[in-house]
């Protein structure tokens, strides 16, 4: 790399890291915790814990575009999925990028799981988080990307 490119590289790295740095610390903590909880809850078949990250008025849209509205209905949808497919052997969800804008945190991430039958599943997601009256950040929109 040529030395005259160094300032551009430093600027790019600074801006790339800024999106994550601009996310409030409490939001990052709640998002990281919810992703860890999801990973454990899915394997344990604990749909209540799996749905805990969702706000009362949340909307969950699957990869086919079917959307479920409301925390309780999302939890019911998760319970139905558990009945149909069983608990996976392993699961992991993690953020790839986060950005805060006007009180909302936008998260791009990836979820992976290994089904009880040994099939690898998962993919990308886009989630919008909002601080709730109790101070915790909850999902208000979750979109599983095709």
Beta pairing, strands 67-69 & 54-61:
antiparallel
Give residue-wise pLDDT tens across range 16-61.
Answer: 444 444 899 999 999 999 999 999 999 999 999 999 999 999 999 9
d(C-alpha 55, C-alpha 137), whole Å: 9
pLDDT at 5 over 90: no
Q: What is the mean pLDDT of residues 82-108?
A: 96
Burial of 64 from C-beta contacts in 10 A (0-12 / 13-18 / 19+): exposed
Q: State which H helix or E strand residue 81 sits in.
A: helix 71-85
As a whole-number percent, the residues of the chain with pLDDT over 90 amount to 82
Cα separation, 44 vs 88, in Å, equals 8
Indicate whether 79 pLDDT > 90: yes
- Give the angle 78-43-80 at the CA atoms, nearest 5°: 20
User: pLDDT at position 10, please?
Assistant: 52
Q: Is 98 exposed, middle or buried (0-12, 13-18, 19+ CB in 10 A)?
A: buried
pLDDT mean across residues, the chain: 89
Per CATH, domain 3-144 is 3.30.470.20: no
Q: Give whole-number Cα distances, 111 to 102, 103, 121, in Å.
A: 26, 25, 8
Whole-model pTM? 0.84
Q: Give the pLDDT band of residue 70 (cuts 50, 70, 90).
A: very high
Judge whether residue 63 has pLDDT over 50: yes
Calculate what percentage of the chain has a pLDDT beyond 70: 86
What is the average per-residue pLDDT within 74-78?
98
């Amino acid at each position: 790399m040529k030395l005259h490119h160094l300032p551009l590289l430093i600027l790019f790295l600074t801006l790339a890291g800024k999106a994550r740095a601009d996310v409030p610390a409490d939001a990052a903590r709640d998002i990281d915790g919810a992703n860890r909880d999801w990973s454990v809850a899915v394997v344990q078949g604990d749909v209540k814990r799996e749905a805990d990250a969702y706000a009362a008025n949340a909307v969950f849209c699957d990869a086919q575009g079917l959307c479920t509205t409301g925390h309780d209905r999302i939890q019911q949808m998760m319970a139905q999925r558990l009945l149909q497919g069983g608990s996976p052997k392993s699961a992991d969800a993690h953020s790839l990028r986060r950005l805060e804008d006007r009180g909302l945190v936008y998260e791009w991430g990836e979820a992976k799981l290994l089904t009880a039958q040994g099939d690898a599943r998962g993919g990308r997601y886009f989630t919008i988080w909002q601080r709730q009256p109790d101070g915790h950040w909850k999902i208000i929109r979750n979109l599983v990307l095709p």
